[in-house]
């Protein structure tokens, strides 16, 4: 009974199944035994039934029951029946699994070949024994040695078997024609030649051999190089190994060959003590890009670093490694353990001993690349450079594998996806005690890796857990990378990165991204301790990186770090960074830092918990968007453009359109709010709010508020339109109100407030409260005295004083003035030059306002500063309303004043005694007595008309 054992997956893109050949007509004597995997793990088959499904080259379809022999370990069997071997040639098959008569899952397809059987009908009827070609050779030997008859008699007895092995009788014709065998060797007799030829046939038929049968001895001493060479021969063979240690100088694997040990813990291949430094334990034989179908499984590979005094160094290129696929199509390594290499543990590269350094954007010819290579359950340690690495190859898969405990002294990484690698998929990989745990990179003088997909990597105590970069494309003067594009990673875990001194002088990071474009990381966890170097960021996004998204981040424990996440600024700054769902817990001094010149960072969602120090968010500019972030236990919530915040602000940027139907905000720093009717804000720092009917805010720092069919001037600035219709702003530094029909027009302005010169213009009346009834000016008292309201005053030497009998009265101290002149509220009276008659002297100048690099030229009129004015007065100056020597004197209108007891309605006030008005023949008309005489005050209060 022949059993074909292999592994099948329900999830992998393609199954890694060796070439299977089954003998036609060997009915029910051949078994497929498959172990079923799902996501790299054995699939439990409890609760399902199994079916075998196939279609052959003639499109015959077979669906037959299969048998689950070990559900827990996922093992299913199918005993091949005649229907599954009807046609010679390639068959496509798979196993399906049912529950309640419904298919619930299936394996991916695998192939087997049906070949002519050594039997066209069963032999030795009554038993299940099937003859092989070896039996034929033994039969021929026995026939000849015992003179059992002539050759024709023997041939007649086995002709049906020979017909299946030698269709057309070609071999037999050659046997009868001469004593030269199929390999061209002449033999002494026909019988000897026949034995040799049939030995050659069996060599073709039997494709599973054991290296020990060729002289290999796994004793850790005997040189077995030649035995491996003979066993592998020209390929098309699977070579089995025993447990133990084989010594070799190098193994070159031909196409269509599989080297299989008893498991990496049992079978071992070690380099001979005399092997040169350039030696590779196992590599492919064909080096022109045509290497294919090479597999290494179940073995430990030892480069024997201590040989020749332990002084051997890498010899350059990809030599001096342990396992290499160089220009291999369909390579496979599983359960391979590598140790001690001078260079790499496992290297997937192109068909050359050298590496390719011909400039960024250039690649090796595609036919030289390795493709479709899978590394499964492999482990590399004690390597000189990288544990597992790739170069100028594509469509690679690395699963459940990793590198750890490097002995390198530089950029020595657990896994390195290096120069020119494309479309590499990593799943459940790991690293420990290396410089970088997982590095995705390119050297300066060649193309970077790109199109890399990572689904789970755990880095433990590496210096830089995850290091994504293109060397030579970091500085401001460097060219941007042409090839560092596309990293998608999930499930990244960085555990206690620290400066482990593998690469002297470098500082630790949990994650570094440099020069790459389009990077997405979903699910990143970093756990630190006090071994992390003080003053360094945990995560660094830097050096021309663009379009980076890091989502679902958890960072804790880096109490020595400066920042948990730092987005570097400067001339070589990156751009387009998005941090979402960020959770920081009692980690670095500061949470998130956004550097100078980085204007489009987005921080969206998260909880930041500090250690009582620093800032939750620090940004050099105010352009980073901050949305939905909560923080606590930091010294300050934020520091943005040198302004500290106790409460973390929400910051939104870019063409904000809020509660608006129709229209929009077309500039990144414009906004439209609660507006309709195709209204728009189109310039930097422009806003339209609660407006309609095609209202437009143009120019810098402009606004249209609660208006319709109104617009500011294009190219202007500092213009505001409020509560208007059909109004066009008349110029800069003006706030206007107005109304009109038709197109927006300056003619429809009704009120204009000029903030440049303080002028207010209106086309209608200006009214005040009924309690504000007089017109007043500020006057100063000579002795600095503050006078009571209602006191009648006179002028003396330019100062006001309390009026006495026979004084010419000018007014009274007012508390009801509607208009007050002479205030000088904002500056000293002598700040500007004036004419002899007090008018402020002005000049017209050309004002250039540079708004975001656009120069706007305006002619404006402004006061001329008095050259003798002392600027220091600005610091000490107080407005007159706050100085008691300055009194508001009502001069015109209805005024409340102090009057004598004798004053009555319709009397006149001509003079005063001690500031109390007394009646006279003419003067101010008494309109009403507001408060009667009060003896304690010594006066009544009357309303008079001045």
Known catalytic residues?
777
Q: What is the DSSP string of 595-621?
A: -TT----EEEEEEEE--SSSEEEEESS
Token pair 């003979």: residue: 230
**CA atoms of 412 and 403, how far apart (whole Å):** 10
Query: 133-145 and 190-205 helices cross at what angle (nearest 10)?
Result: 170
Which one-letter DSSP state was computed for residue 84? G
Q: Could you give the strand order of the β-sheet that contains 664-665, starting from the edge strand earlier in sequence?
A: 664-665, 680-681, 696-697
In angstroms, what is the C-alpha Rg of the chain? 48
**CA atoms of 414 and 405, how far apart (whole Å):** 8
Judged by DSSP in three states, 560 sits in coil
Terminal CA-CA length for the chain: 131
| Sequence-ordered list of residues with C-beta below 8 angstroms from that of 657, at least 6 positions apart, any chain | 663, 664, 665, 671, 672
**CA atoms of 144 and 154, how far apart (whole Å):** 9
Q: Is the Cβ–Cβ distance between 691 and 712 less than 8 Å?
A: no
Closest CA to 812 of 911, 910, 915, 906: 915
Torsion of CA 173, 176, 178, 181, to 10 degrees: 60
Alpha-carbon dihedral sign for residues 865, 867, 869, 871 = positive
Question: Buried b / exposed e across 400-416, counting CB within 10 Å, b at 16+?
Answer: bbbbbbbbbeebbbbbb
Alpha-carbon dihedral sign for residues 213, 218, 222, 223 = positive
Question: Buried b / exposed e across 105-131, counting CB within 10 Å, b at 16+?
Answer: bbbeebebebeebbbeebeeeeeeebb
Closest CA to 378 of 290, 452, 282, 306: 282
The residues pairing with 745 across neighbouring beta strands, listed in sequence order, are 727
Token pair 């040695």: residue: 145
Could you tell me whether strands 686-689 and 700-705 are parallel, antiparallel, or unpaired per DSSP bridges? parallel
Residue 44 vs residues 72, 95, 98: alpha-carbon distances, Å: 5, 14, 13
Q: How many CA atoms lie within 13 A of 123 on its CB side?
A: 15
Q: What is the DSSP string of 210-243?
A: EGGGGT---EEEEE-HHHHHHHHTTSSEEEE--S
């Amino acid at each position: 009974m022949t059993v074909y054992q292999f592994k099948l997956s329900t999830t992998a893109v393609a199954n890694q199944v060796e070439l299977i050949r089954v003998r036609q007509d060997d009915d029910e004597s051949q078994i497929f035994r498959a172990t079923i995997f799902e996501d790299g793990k054995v699939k439990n088959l409890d609760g399902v039934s199994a079916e075998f499904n196939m279609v052959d080259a003639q499109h015959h379809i077979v669906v037959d029951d299969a048998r689950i022999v070990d559900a827990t370990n996922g093992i299913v069997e199918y005993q091949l029946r005649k229907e599954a071997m009807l046609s010679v040639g390639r068959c496509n098959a798979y196993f399906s699994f049912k529950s309640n008569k419904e298919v619930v899952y299936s394996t991916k397809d695998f192939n087997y070949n049906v070949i002519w059987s050594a039997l066209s009908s069963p032999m030795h009827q009554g038993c299940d024994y099937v003859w092989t070609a070896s039996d034929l050779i033994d039969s021929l030997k026995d026939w000849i040695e015992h003179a059992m008859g002539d050759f024709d008699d023997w041939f007649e007895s086995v002709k049906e078997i020979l017909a299946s092995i030698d269709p057309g009788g070609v071999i037999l014709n050659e046997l009868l024609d001469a004593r030269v065998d199929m390999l061209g060797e002449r033999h002494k007799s026909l019988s000897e030649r026949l034995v040799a030829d049939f030995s050659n046939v069996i060599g073709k038929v039997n494709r599973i051999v054991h290296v020990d049968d060729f002289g290999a001895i796994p004793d850790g001493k005997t040189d077995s190089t030649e035995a491996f060479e003979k066993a592998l021969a020209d390929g098309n063979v699977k070579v089995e190994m025993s447990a133990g240690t084989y010594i070799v100088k190098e193994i070159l694997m031909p196409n269509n060959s599989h080297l299989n040990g008893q498991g990496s813990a049992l079978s071992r291949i070690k380099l001979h003590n005399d092997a040169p430094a350039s030696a590779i334990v196992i590599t492919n034989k064909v080096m022109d890009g045509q290497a294919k179908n090479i597999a290494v499984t179940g073995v430990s590979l030892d480069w024997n670093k201590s040989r020749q005094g332990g002084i051997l160094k890498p010899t350059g290129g990809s030599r001096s490694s342990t396992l290499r696929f160089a220009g291999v199509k369909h390579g496979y390594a599983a359960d391979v353990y590598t140790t001690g290499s001078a260079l790499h543990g496992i290297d997937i590269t192109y068909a050359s001993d050298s590496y390719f350094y011909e400039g960024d954007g250039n690649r090796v010819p595609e036919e030289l690349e390795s493709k479709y290579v899978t590394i499964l359950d492999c482990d590399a340690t004690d390597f000189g450079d990288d544990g597992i690495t790739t170069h100028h190859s594509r469509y690679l898969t690395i699963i459940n594998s990793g590198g750890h405990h490097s002995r390198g002294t530089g950029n020595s990484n657990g896994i390195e996806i290096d120069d020119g690698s494309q479309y590499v998929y990593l799943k459940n990989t790991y690293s420990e005690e290396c410089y970088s745990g997982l590095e995705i990179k390119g050297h300066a003088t060649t193309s970077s890796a790109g199109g890399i997909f990572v689904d789970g990597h755990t880095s433990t105590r590496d210096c830089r857990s995850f290091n994504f970069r293109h060397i030579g494309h970091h500085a401001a003067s460097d060219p941007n990378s042409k090839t560092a594009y596309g990293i998608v990673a999930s499930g990244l875990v960085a555990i206690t990165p620290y400066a482990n001194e593998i690469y002297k002088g470098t500082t630790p990071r949990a994650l570094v991204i440099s020069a790459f474009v389009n990077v997405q990381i979903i699910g990143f966890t970093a756990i630190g301790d006090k071994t992390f170097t003080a003053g360094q960021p945990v995560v660094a996004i830097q050096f021309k990186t663009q379009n980076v998204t890091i989502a679902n981040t958890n960072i804790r424990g880096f109490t020595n770090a400066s920042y948990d996440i730092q987005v570097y600024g400067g001339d070589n700054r990156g751009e387009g960074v998005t941090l979402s769902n960020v959770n920081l817990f009692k980690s670095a001094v500061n949470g998130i830092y956004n550097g100078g010149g980085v204007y489009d960072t987005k921080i969206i969602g998260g909880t930041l918990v500090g250690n009582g120090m620093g800032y939750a968010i620090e940004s050099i500019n105010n352009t980073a968007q901050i949305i939905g972030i909560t923080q606590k236990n930091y010294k300050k919530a934020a520091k943005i453009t040198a302004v500290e915040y106790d409460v973390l602000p929400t910051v939104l940027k870019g063409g904000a359109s809020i509660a608006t139907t129709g229209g929009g905000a077309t500039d990144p720093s414009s906004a439209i709010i609660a507006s309709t009717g195709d209204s728009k804000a189109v310039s930097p720092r422009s806003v339209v709010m609660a407006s309609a009917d095609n209202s437009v805010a143009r120019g810098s720092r402009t606004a249209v508020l609660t208006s319709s069919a109104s617009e500011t001037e294009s190219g202007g600035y500092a213009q505001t339109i409020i509560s208007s219709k059909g109004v066009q702003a008349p110029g800069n530094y003006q706030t206007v109100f107005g109304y009109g029909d038709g197109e927006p027009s300056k003619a429809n302005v009704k009120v204009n407030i000029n903030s440049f010169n303080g002028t207010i213009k209106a086309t209608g009346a200006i009214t005040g409260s009924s309690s504000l009834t007089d017109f007043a000016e500020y006057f100063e008292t000579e002795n600095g005295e503050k006078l009571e309201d209602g006191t009648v005053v006179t002028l003396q030497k330019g100062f006001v004083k309390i009026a006495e009998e026979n004084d010419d009265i000018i007014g009274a101290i007012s508390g009801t003035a509607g208009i007050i002149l002479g205030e000088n509220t904002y500056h000293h009276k002598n700040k500007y030059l004036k004419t002899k008659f007090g008018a402020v002297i002005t000049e017209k100048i050309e004002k250039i306002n540079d708004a975001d690099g656009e120069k706007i030229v305006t002619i404006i009129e402004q006061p001329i500063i008095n050259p003798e004015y002392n600027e220091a007065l600005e610091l000490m100056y107080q407005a007159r309303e706050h100085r008691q020597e300055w009194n508001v004197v009502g001069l015109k209108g209805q005024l409340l004043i102090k009057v004598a007891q004798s004053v009555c309605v319709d009397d006149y006030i001509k003079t005063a005694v001690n500031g109390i008005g007394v009646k006279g023949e003419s003067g101010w008309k008494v309109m009403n007595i507001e408060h009667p005489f009060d003896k304690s005050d010594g006066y009544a209060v009357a309303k008079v008309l001045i």
